[in-house]
Amino acid sequence: MNLKILLPYEIFAHIKDVKRMVIETSEGFYGLLPQRLDCVAALVPGILTYTTSDQKDIYVAVDQGILVKAGAEVLVSVHNAFGGTDLGKLSELLKSEFNSQNEIEFENKSVIAKLEVGFVYSFDKFRNQ
């Protein structure tokens, strides 16, 4: 199989000769082999595992998205993805990434709150004129 992992802004990975895959959906875990019928699956945040022709397991942490298998082509489109061969390092990477995303989200919420207060103040000022 040929696996292509797509992010909104780039191609995360394009792997040829994938022997098998395990994905997580809202219905549970599914295994994909080259001869499996074509399918579409909604992915939940979790670990996508695939095995290459050299029998090496690769792990990719993915956010929610969709998987489409058509013939030998497998397309995975997700919001975010982080890959590696060591689950421990992948776990540490995810923790640091989620912490930085939480900080950015907190900053964004503060800016939005300030904009809302400014809008309400300006609207009230305009209304009282």
CATH number of 2-85: 2.40.110.10, 2.60.15.10, 3.90.920.20, 1.10.3720.10?
2.60.15.10
Long-range CB contacts (within 8 A, 24+) of 19-24: 19/50, 19/51, 19/52, 19/53, 19/55, 20/50, 20/51, 21/48, 21/49, 21/50, 21/51, 21/74, 22/48, 22/49, 22/50, 23/48, 23/67, 23/76, 24/48
d(CA 93, CA 82): 8
* Per-residue pLDDT, 16: 92
Domain boundaries, the chain: 2-85, 88-129
Q: Are 77 and 6 in contact (CB under 8 A)?
A: yes
* Per-residue pLDDT, 83: 79
Kind of pairing between the strands at 2-6 and 73-78: parallel
Reported confidence tier of residue 5, pLDDT bands at 50, 70, 90: very high
Residues 78-103 pLDDT 10s: 988 887 767 777 767 766 666 666 67
